[in-house]
């Protein structure tokens, strides 16, 4: 397996400035297809090296960035001015990957907030992709604050957008204590709270993704742990139900937590995903 790293300079269309984003790729000797991997909130693309290794063994090249404000990329940790900033990064990566290879089939894989970003990317332009996989997508949260609290968050977002307001519980990541411990120790993971602006932007993005799900027509596989307390399996069900894809699957895993690729059953979960991707070829 060949591993390449670099950076992308991304000009943001709906927010101020340009971002310098970390990029990395895991490459097989013979590329059958390519996967754009979109990571989740507060983490970074390096946490998916094992997933990438399995995909590479099947002949899939894997390309990823660290989002703005994440990992080794520029930006205020736990904050974003507009949710579209994340989409700008994914679209820049897509452009770079297609410039290098315009022929090989291309898949989209998003986890958690990355699933939310991927859903918006599909609604905006699904043409470049053969199929998409969303894992534990942040389309709905059972832990979302009450309506009054969300109204206050929106006010704070407008007045003091960078004030920290909400944090994630690491215990909800995986049933494997070693995974949780590694997550807590990881210096590239943001362990603080997200800001009022990011919380408000994500809430609005969730509603918009579910409203636009009927635009999705390409083959779609959505995977979710039934015991996920960080994102709701109900959001995945609603998205799949609304999608117009002829080939669409909702796979729920009883007992699994949020990061199904980091659960004790990860090899079976990743293997099922790879089998489905190969079937799409």
Residues taking part in catalysis: 112, 228, 258
Query: Tokens in use for 176?
Result: 């494997």
Q: What would the two tokens of residue 191 be?
A: 């362990």
**Dihedral sign computed on CA atoms, order 241, 245, 246, 251:** negative
Instruction: Return d(Cα 131, Cα 109) in angstroms, integer.
Output: 9
How much of the chain is helix, strand and coil, in % rounded to 5? 40, 20, 40
Do residues 174 and 263 touch, judged by C-beta distance below 8 A? yes
Residue 47 C-beta-side C-alpha neighbours within 13 Å = 29
Hey, CA dihedral for 267, 270, 274, 280, is it positive or negative?
Answer: positive
What angle (nearest 5°) sits at the alpha carbon of residue 34, between those of residues 134 and 243? 30
Asked if residue 94 lies in contact with residue 36, where contact means CB atoms within 8 angstroms, the answer is yes
- What is the rounded CA–CA span in Å between residue 246 and residue 248? 6
- 209 dihedral zone (left: phi>0; alpha: psi -120 to 50; beta): alpha
Cβ neighbors of 105 (< 8 A, separation 6 or more) are: 32, 33, 34, 130, 280, 281
């Amino acid at each position: 397996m060949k591993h390449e790293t670099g950076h992308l300079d991304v000009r943001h269309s709906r927010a101020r400035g340009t971002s310098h984003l970390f990029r990395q790729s895991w490459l097989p000797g013979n590329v059958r297809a390519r996967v754009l991997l979109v990571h989740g909130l507060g983490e970074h693309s390096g946490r998916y090296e094992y997933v990438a290794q399995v995909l590479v063994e099947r002949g899939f090249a894997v390309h990823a960035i660290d989002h703005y404000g994440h990992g080794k990329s520029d930006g205020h940790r736990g904050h974003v001015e507009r949710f579209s900033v994340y989409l700008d990064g994914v679209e820049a990566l897509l452009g770079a990957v297609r410039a290098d290879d315009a022929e090989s089939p291309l898949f989209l894989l998003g986890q958690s907030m990355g699933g939310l970003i991927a859903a918006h990317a599909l609604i905006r332009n699904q043409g470049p992709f053969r199929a998409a996989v969303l894992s534990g997508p942040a389309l709905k949260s059972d832990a979302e604050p009450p309506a009054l609290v969300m109204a206050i968050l929106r006010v704070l977002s407008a007045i003091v957008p960078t004030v920290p307001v909400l944090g994630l519980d690491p215990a909800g990541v995986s049933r494997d204590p070693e995974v949780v411990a590694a997550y807590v120790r990881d210096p590239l993971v943001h362990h603080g709270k997200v800001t009022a602006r990011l919380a408000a932007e994500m809430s609005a993005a969730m509603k918009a993704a579910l409203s636009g799900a009927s635009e999705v027509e390409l083959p779609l596989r959505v995977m979710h742990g039934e015991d996920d307390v960080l994102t709701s399996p109900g959001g995945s069900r609603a998205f799949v139900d609304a999608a117009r894809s002829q080939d669409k699957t909702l796979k729920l895993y009883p007992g699994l937590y949020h990061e199904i690729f980091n659960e004790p059953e990860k090899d079976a979960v990743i293997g099922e995903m790879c089998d489905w991707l190969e079937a799409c070829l």
